[in-house]
Amino acid sequence: MVGAVLIAGAAGGVWAWGPRRADPRPPGEPEGASLRAGPPDAAWCAAVGALPVDRQLAAVSAKLRELNPGYDGQVTRYGTHAGRINEFGLHTDAVTDLRPLRAFTGLVSLTAVGTEPGRGKLTDLGPLRGLPLTVLNVWRNPDLADLSPVRGAKLVLFQAGDTAVEDLAPLSGMPLHTLAVDNCRVRDLAPVRTMPRLNFVRCDGCPIASLEPLVGSTVRELTFTPDPARGDDAVLDRAKVKTVNRMNLRPGKE
């Protein structure tokens, strides 16, 4: 184990935050004996899923190191419930391949973020397709644009600030409560009208074409970059937004 790890009881399981790097070997087993090289295919994922929780975490961390040169294996946060990993976090400064996470069939919360804006290397959310995610944080991955792999997920919180995300359509209909896409390329907020529980939207730094989709939505709190030429005040007068935070930090990305 590397670094400090805090472990505590939590509703629904056990959670911890790191950094942590675990040894995938049971006591007395030679180094490398429990690791199989190669892609994390269905057989590998099934075998890992059958391991005790501590060895699941270690095996996935080791496979992430194998597939992502430069990744040090540190896990920023993890949680468990009913013998499965249900929460996981890592920094993506050297991570592009998340396929080993498919071994966590009970994963509901993932944080895969860069340490600073512009540092994250993650571009492909494909390995997350079909996982039971409800919380997804992928901020500070500047080349991440495609959200289609999470289409159909039951996300309640999605945060992707400082990415290249432009199209929110894959999030349509989700039970989101919080949506944060600050400093992205989002122009069209129309999908927010399809989100029946959406309360908070953050879109400052985005080249939003119109705030009109907020009219008729459930959004009650908004953080955005104002544009008088867009007619923001007139739209907000008709929307039911109760809390408005105006940010003027940077122009929207095109």
Q: Model confidence over 184-209: pLDDT tens digits?
A: 999 999 999 999 999 999 999 999 99
The contacts of residue 237 (CB under 8 Å, 6+ apart) are none
Class of domain 1-26+38-165 as given by CATH? alpha beta
Q: Is 213 helix (H, G, I), strand (E, B) or coil?
A: helix
Residue with more model confidence, 37 or 175 = 175
- CA 171/CA 196 separation, integer angstroms: 12
Question: pLDDT per residue over 117-133, tens digit each?
Answer: 999 999 999 999 999 99
pLDDT at position 253 is 52
174-177 long-range contacts, CB within 8 A, separation 24+: none
User: Taking the CA of residue 184 as centre, how many other CA atoms within 13 Å lie in the half-sphere pointing to its CB?
Assistant: 30
Q: Is the pLDDT of residue 28 over 60?
A: no
Residues 6+ apart with CB under 8 A from 7: 14, 15, 16
CA max distance for the chain: 70
Whether the predicted pLDDT of 3 surpasses 70 = no
Rounded to two decimals, the pTM is 0.86
pLDDT band at 11 (very low <50, low <70, confident <90, very high): very low
Q: What is the pLDDT of residue 248?
A: 77
Supply the pLDDT for residue 38.
80
167-254 has the same fold as 1-26+38-165: yes
> Do residues 190 and 212 touch, judged by C-beta distance below 8 A?
no
Phi-psi region of 114 (alpha: psi -120 to 50; beta: other; left: phi over 0): beta
Model pLDDT for residues 158-194, shown as the tens digit of each residue = 999 999 999 999 999 999 999 999 999 999 999 999 9
- Of the ranges 18-32, 40-54, 79-93, 234-248, which one carries the lowest mean pLDDT score? 18-32
Percentage of the chain surpassing pLDDT 70? Answer: 83
Question: CATH class for domain 167-254?
Answer: alpha beta
Nearest to 214 by CA among 230, 238, 231, 180: 238
Name which of 34-38, 128-132, 152-156 the model is least confident about: 34-38
Each domain of the chain, given as residue ranges in start order, spans 1-26+38-165, 167-254
